[in-house]
Structure 1
Amino acid sequence: MLKHWPPLNALRGFEAAARLGSFHQAAQELHLTQSAISQQIRSLENFLEQPLFYRSGRSVTLTDAGHDLRSTTQSLLQQLAVGIRRLEQYRKPNQLVVNTSPAFARHWLLPRLGEFHRLHPEVDLWLFTSFEPPDMSTQTIDLTLRDDLSAQAECSYLELYSDRLYPACHPSVLEQPEALRTTLHGEREMDWSHWLVEGGADIGQRSNGLNFSDPGLLLDAACAGHGIALVSQLLTQQARAQGLLAPLCEQSVRGPTWAWLIHRDSEGSPLTRSFCEWLLGALQVPAEP
């Protein structure tokens, strides 16, 4: 990391002059005088201790160092412009930022977002997914809904749904001999050791097979017919309805608890309230009195 950086205005002036091949045209584009552009580039050359342009009368051409800096500066300014434009989303008056896991977003929330938008078109929902729970005190998030949450300061915490887990696979896998079925392994409660600890029956699962750190990909693999998996009752509602999954037995075991955290600054917002009421209904959780 550099200890000292050239002024941004000098880099902008250099990029315009390098792209247009003219100090005069760069000055017109940036609404400056030609002498101001010349001074910016001279200061940049002094900072770098090498020339960036060959000057011949009114004509200028880039040196080898100038060509190199041109590509670097254009990339830098483009990334900066994209980043600044992206900040506009934080000024939207009706924006609601919701965090959840990729698995919940893809397998439960996404199929139902159309219904939420139809009921609440005024809410400009931004769905932010992450594999780890966010720090609500440092991130701009109104509500997070996950199965790996604990209470955080300045947030209200509510447990919403006690999940159940069961072994399942694509119906085509049921036609395979048990010895030929691949076992799909997940992490945390989706690991088969949890099934055994909770008293799950032996349904032919093996210790080897395919391993997944993302429960969403584990569910995708099971739906695609790659093997048998321990899956979430909540997240498989859509797949079961579409005939992509079939249970291997009637038994289920204790799963994770889904909960939400709502930041105190968002708790009284009508946007947050609309989303929470819809979510409680969709999860079939009775609202608190």
Structure 2
Amino acid sequence: MPTAAAYIRVSTEDQMEFSPDSQLRSIQAYALNHHIELLPAHIYLDEGISGRNTSKRPAFLQMIADAKRKPHPFDLILLWKFSRFARNRQDSIFYKSMLRRECGIDVISITEPLSPDPTSILIEALLEAMDEYYSVNLAQEVRRGMNEKFRRGGIVSIPPFGYTARDGQFIIVPEQACWVRRIFDSYLNGISIPSIAKELQTAGVRTIRENPFDGRGVRYILGNPVYTGQMRRHLEHHTASSSLSSDRFHVADHMTCVVGTHPPIISCEMFLQTQTLLMRTKKKS
């Protein structure tokens, strides 16, 4: 009786796939019907992980490492679909060829059976190409949707310090917003960025990731137009532009800004004054 491992992968972006339990049940039923021993110790699961990059799938890499052991611990790898194995043709061809040539292990899709004749090579290649196309096209559609949401002033990122997210909107956090205003006021009144960071540390103020503030964190706040009610994002094939920019400078290189739907914490005038001062300081350094 041949022995098999099961590889199961679910990703966050793919709505067409079965859950891990559903995939495993289908694989177990296939193994039983085809008189294959499915080894419980060799059920590999990558959950919430894209199939486009094998280097970021720990269970997959562990399965490959186990397959290379001598003697080989299993004869087959069972999948729900070939797309679970990889959505990148280069990775798929490399690992399938290596497994067959070096380990004598076949990769089988239980829902996409291939015949033993040579035409199966073409069919498998077509399935791999379709899987990669689906993955690339899905990524483009998601990016296009995010860009369109951004253009309409919607939020497409986690809330920065001073805001929280509620019902798809940035909402001001008063106890943080007062520190945002203090940071801008202090800088415009000649206090250095390291000194502002030191004051925040002494007061026990933390970033949104619960880390102590440093100069980099302070500088990020000083250069972020979100505090004027704007949103910014890098859009491919778009030059930097903003209603806050002047003939002398842009708010951020390679970034596009639009009017958001959230309330501002500081005025546009204060922000522009800050950018001018930041640029003067940068030229002197």
TM normalised by structure 1 equals 0.26
**Larger of the two Rg values belongs to structure:** 1
Considering fraction of residues, name the structure with more strand.
Answer: 1
